[in-house]
């Protein structure tokens, strides 16, 4: 294996949560999170019994009822620490926007419980300290110990940035110090890694927040060890008396540990685990300028986006393994496309941008964000999707809670922290990846720079950017030019700016000495586009889907009546955009079509062509479906 560079210089890093104030489209969502969702998350976690499990001051919940997917009899969950960690993270991001003493007190109560739980050596895991004590580190393959640690670390970093309180951060730093002593290549250390990648991302965040390089080094260790021979999970299984071949998922492809990460070229296995791993690889590549990871990351990205990605930015069609099957397997009605997978894809894409602005990654980040991820949360902030089909006969709906409640806090923490995904900051430049209304306060070596962004995006593509450096300074401003934005125009201080020679990797690169008040106006055309699937995707042949800007559209029964598959779009029919107040003023599409009117007395199969009558159908953004009356939904539409 080639040894990575020893350099630790980063390229583009995201700003911290308190550096970006979000308004507009996502500002409205964050208001809902602050008022409703984060309270709902913490309350439902506590109602489920999570605080009973972690707090040694409470009676031990013990082993009670059968646990799905295993031989144990438990009503508690070994991954509950992760749900608390993500919920605290989401709530912390809203606290950075809206101080809420009651919410802060609730989080402090949970942190107090974790302080009481933490072992003297720093170890912190409610399952192995209260439910199955004495078994720590005996089953990294299946039991989520490091995954739980990662989400708690991310929650601690978020809470520190939001409130300035260090207690949770210090608790998790103490745990990370313990991990650094346990895992490594030294004598007596473990060369293991988690079956569910995630801790790698958290260690990088923790290292950045605390300035402790050893945490980032540990993230690199976990990446480097994965899939190495002899296989750690084989030895681990034998040590606990199990046959390594007796594995429910059969292959280590399930956890992307089937081969060393630098040898991997195909996205396989559990979708969320895959994207978390690749995000961790990208973080390590950025932090260490490790170009040995670049070929694998590029090939994995291409394999996913060119052969296995839903048009919504979701991936993983199978409920069996919550993940990948074979190339071009993209069914609609049975699509699993877990919300967490789309969220994790946003994480991965964002970290790929750490290597520099590149539309290849940012466009997919935006697609997954606005469609496959955002659909996971209802407009009122109280109900959630776990899996996300692209067609429904009317039986698929959001739920209040789930026995595996990973998706609700995951989508909440993503939306609440969206400002950190919108920008990238390097020593000599600022990149704007997402056009999120609001203001960022960023620090360059030449001094602080405020960036004011005004837009109604994604309602329209008009974006005004005002730069307010404290003193004039020279740097490169990179603006993403989405692939779908044909015919975009840009002005600088009212004068047209030529784009031809200034676009690199899909970003407009503007280098100059910036003065306070410099104003850019970017206009991205947003025509409605008809997308066709590759011929290998059999389910979508003869069908199209509609997109406008970053949004995928669908039909709902409430607007168009039942039997949505009886509708065929005219190949050259007119389309117009309307605003609909009942869904928060979103832009809907009115599209010319025909509806087949079969004779109900005809046989199931007939030689008679069906009569068809002209009709205008309404399409709404995919993220907004199932917010009104229940009914059918369809993304891929038949075309005349």
Residues labelled as active-site residues: 322, 406
First to last CA, the chain: 55
CA atoms of 303 and 425, how far apart (whole Å): 28
> What Rg do the C-alpha atoms of the chain give, in angstroms?
25
CB 385 within 8 A of CB 376: yes
CB 131 within 8 A of CB 63: yes
Give the tokens for residue 61.
Answer: 């919940």
Residue 372 phi, psi dihedral angles, 5° rounding: -65, -25
HSE-up of residue 554 (Cα within 13 Å, Cβ side): 25
Residues 6+ apart with CB under 8 A from 501: none
CA atoms of 129 and 135, how far apart (whole Å): 9
Residue with tokens 């659909």: 375
Can you spell out the DSSP letters for 460-515?
A: --EEEEEEEESS-EEEEEEEE--TT-TT-EEEETTEE---TTTEETTEEEEEEEE-
Q: Is 430 exposed, middle or buried (0-12, 13-18, 19+ CB in 10 A)?
A: buried
- CA neighbor of 459 nearest in space, from 566, 376, 550, 332: 550
Give the tokens for residue 93.
Answer: 């991001």
Alpha-carbon dihedral sign for residues 332, 337, 342, 343: positive
CA atoms of 417 and 520, how far apart (whole Å): 25
Residue with tokens 């749900």: 83
Other Cβ atoms closer than 10 A to 561: 15
Give the tokens for residue 636.
Answer: 């891929």
SS3 12: coil
């Amino acid at each position: 294996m080639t040894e990575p560079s020893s350099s630790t210089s980063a390229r583009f890093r995201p700003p911290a949560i308190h550096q970006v104030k979000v308004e507009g489209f996502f500002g409205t969502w964050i208001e809902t999170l602050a008022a409703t969702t984060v309270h709902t998350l913490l309350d439902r976690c506590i109602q489920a019994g999570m605080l009973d499990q972690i707090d040694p001051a409470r009676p031990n919940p013990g082993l009670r009822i059968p646990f799905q997917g295993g031989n144990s009899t438990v009503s508690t969950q070994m991954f509950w620490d992760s749900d608390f960690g993500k919920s605290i993270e989401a709530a912390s991001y809203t606290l950075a926007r809206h101080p809420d003493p009651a919410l802060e007190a609730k989080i402090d109560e949970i942190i107090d419980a974790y302080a009481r739980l933490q072992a003297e050596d720093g170890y912190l895991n409610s399952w192995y300290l209260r439910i199955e004590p004495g078994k720590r580190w005996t089953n990294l393959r299946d039991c989520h110990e490091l995954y739980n640690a990662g989400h708690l670390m991310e929650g601690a970093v978020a809470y520190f940035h939001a409130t300035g309180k260090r207690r949770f951060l210090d608790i998790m730093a103490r745990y990370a110090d313990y991990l650094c002593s346990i895992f490594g290549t030294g004598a007596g250390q473990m060369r293991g890694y988690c079956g569910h990648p995630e801790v790698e991302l958290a260690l990088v965040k923790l290292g950045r927040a605390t300035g402790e390089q050893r945490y980032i080094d540990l993230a690199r260790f976990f990446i480097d060890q994965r899939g190495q021979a002899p296989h750690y999970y084989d030895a681990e299984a034998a040590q606990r008396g199990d046959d390594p071949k007796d594995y429910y998922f059969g292959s280590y492809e399930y956890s992307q540990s089937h081969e060393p990460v630098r040898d991997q070229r195909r996205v396989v296995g559990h979708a969320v685990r895959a994207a978390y791993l690749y995000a961790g690889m990208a973080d390590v590549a950025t932090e260490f300028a490790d170009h040995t990871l670049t070929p694998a990351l590029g090939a994995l990205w291409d394999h996913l986006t060119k052969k296995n990605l839903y048009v919504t930015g979701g991936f993983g069609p199978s409920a069996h393994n919550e993940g990948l099957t074979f190339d071009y397997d993209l069914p609609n009605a049975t699509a699993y496309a877990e919300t967490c997978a789309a969220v994790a894809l946003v994480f991965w894409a964002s970290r790929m941008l750490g290597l520099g602005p590149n539309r290849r990654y940012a466009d997919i980040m935006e697609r997954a964000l606005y469609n496959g991820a955002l659909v996971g949360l209802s407009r009122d902030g109280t109900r959630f999707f776990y899996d996300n089909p692209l067609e429904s006969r009317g039986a698929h709906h959001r739920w209040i809670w789930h026995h595996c409640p990973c998706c609700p806090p995951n989508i909440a923490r993503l939306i609440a922290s969206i400002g950190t995904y919108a920008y990238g900051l390097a020593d000599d430049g600022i990149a704007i990846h997402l056009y999120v209304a609001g203001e960022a306060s960023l620090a360059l070596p030449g001094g602080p720079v405020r960036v004011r962004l005004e837009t109604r995006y994604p309602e329209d593509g008009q974006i005004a950017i005002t730069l307010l450096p404290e003193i004039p300074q020279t740097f490169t401003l990179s603006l993403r030019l989405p692939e779908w934005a044909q015919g975009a125009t840009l002005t600088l201080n009212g004068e047209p700016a030529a784009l031809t020679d200034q676009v690199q990797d899909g970003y407009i690169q503007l280098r100059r000495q910036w003065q306070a008040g410099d104003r850019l106006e970017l206009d991205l055309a947003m025509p409605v586009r008809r997308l066709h699937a590759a011929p290998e995707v059999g389910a979508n042949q003869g069908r199209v889907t509609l997109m406008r800007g970053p949004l995928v559209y669908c039909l709902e029964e409430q607007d168009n009546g039942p039997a949505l598959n009886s509708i065929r779009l005219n190949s050259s029919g007119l389309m117009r955009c309307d605003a609909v107040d009942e869904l928060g003023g979103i832009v809907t599409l009115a599209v010319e079509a025909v509806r087949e009117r079969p004779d109900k007395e005809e046989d199931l199969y007939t030689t008679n062509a069906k009569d068809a009558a002209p009709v205008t159908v309404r399409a709404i953004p995919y993220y907004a479906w199932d917010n009104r009356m229940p009914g059918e939904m369809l993304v891929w539409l038949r075309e005349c």
